Amino acid sequence: MNKEQVKKLFLGGLGLIALLYVYFSFFLGPLNKSRDAVQAKIKDLQTKISTSKAEISKAAKLEETAHSATVRYDALRALSPEGAPIAWFPPRMKTFLSTHQIDKGTTRLETNSACKEKELADWSRYLWIIDLPQADFESLGNAIAQLENTNPLLSIKKLRIYAATDDPELQKAVFTAATIIYKK
């Protein structure tokens, strides 16, 4: 090889290096970058799709298992009629007591507050004082039994029954009932 040829080879080598650099940096590089980005997006979406499918089937299963809870929840919610409890609870108690031959009775609201449990954020606790100045013990017992059996969200917290001085056949009764009522 003569000097001219060596020079040409050297220049050729340099040209090749430049060509490879341009090829890898400006042609293949962006293409690979784009391909990697697409692959990453595909992987991400595939993960999302598979977890979503799992979540959809989980929700469907939950829908089946929660059926009884939903029915029960609706039934419990239906125990709270529309309107302010102070408007409907005392008349309801009056009607209820009159069906047990307890005609004289007053129901008044003592306190109401939000339930402490976070699951019961949509429910409020009401404390009512039910005052019965004339009640026959047997009728009262029957009334309390039916009240407790038909109102699952009602619980008697305090109860006082004592002899009425004017009529020995009748007793006076005062009880505090706590109710859990759905906030409409």
Taking Cα atoms as reference points, which of 109, 151, 99, 147 lies closest to residue 130? 109
Rounded to 10°, the helix 85-98/137-150 angle is 130
Within a 10 A sphere around the Cβ of 80, how many other Cβ atoms?
19
In the three-class reduction of DSSP (H, G, I as helix; E, B as strand; rest coil), residue 165 is classed as: coil
Residue 167 interacting with other proteins (CB under 8 A): no
CB of 40 to other proteins, least distance (A): 10
Tokens 């692959």 belong to which residue? 39
CB of 104 to other proteins, least distance (A): 19
Near other proteins by CB under 8 A: residue from 18, 25, 72, 106? 72
C-alpha 55/C-alpha 65 separation (Å) is: 15
CA dist 153 → 69, 149, 156, 181 (Å) = 16, 10, 10, 8
CB of 86 to other proteins, least distance (A): 21
Binding mask 121-160 for other proteins (x = CB under 8 A): -xx------------xxx-xxx-xxx-xx--xx-xxxxxx
Residues that bind other proteins (CB under 8 A): 1, 5, 8-9, 12, 15-16, 19-20, 23, 27-28, 31-32, 34-35, 38-39, 41-42, 45-46, 48-49, 52-53, 55-56, 58-60, 62-63, 66, 69-70, 72-73, 76, 117, 119-120, 122-123, 136-138, 140-142, 144-146, 148-149, 152-153, 155-163, 175, 180
